[in-house]
Amino acid sequence: MESSDKPTPPDDLEPELRAVLDALADCEAETIRTVADHADALATWAESRPSDGADDAYPDGIPERATVSTMAVDGQEYRYYQWREGDEIRSKTERA
């Protein structure tokens, strides 16, 4: 691709996301890179969440807005949930 050829979004992209990418095309390179860094952080966060249907349900007492991290300790997998309630940060660890 030549530097004058503007990249086009993938054909299968949802219209709302296509509009976001079209709007970004009018931004400065630094702004686009900042958004790209944030998108990468969101992808990392999304990968850390349970992905199969059975694991999508949060345990009792844990809100769906909680951040989920998965870790292995001595061969056992655990899920670490963290969320905010007012000014306090709450957390809970459960065996997967």
Confidence (pTM):
0.49
At residue 29, the pLDDT reads 94
> What percent of the chain is predicted at pLDDT more than 70?
89
pLDDT digits (tens, 9 = 90+) for 37-67: 988 888 887 777 665 555 567 888 899 889 9
Between 56 and 86, the more confident residue is 86
> What percent of the chain is predicted at pLDDT more than 90?
31
- DSSP string over 24-89: HTTS-HHHHHHHHHHHHHHHHHHHHS--SGGGGSPPTT--TT-EEEEEEETTEEEEEEEEEETTEE
Separation CA 94–CA 96 (nearest Å): 6
CB of 91 within 8 A of CB of 81?
yes
Query: Does the structure show a pLDDT above 90 at 74?
Result: no
Tell me what the pLDDT averaged over the chain comes to.
85
Range ranked top by mean pLDDT from 5-9, 30-34, 47-51: 30-34
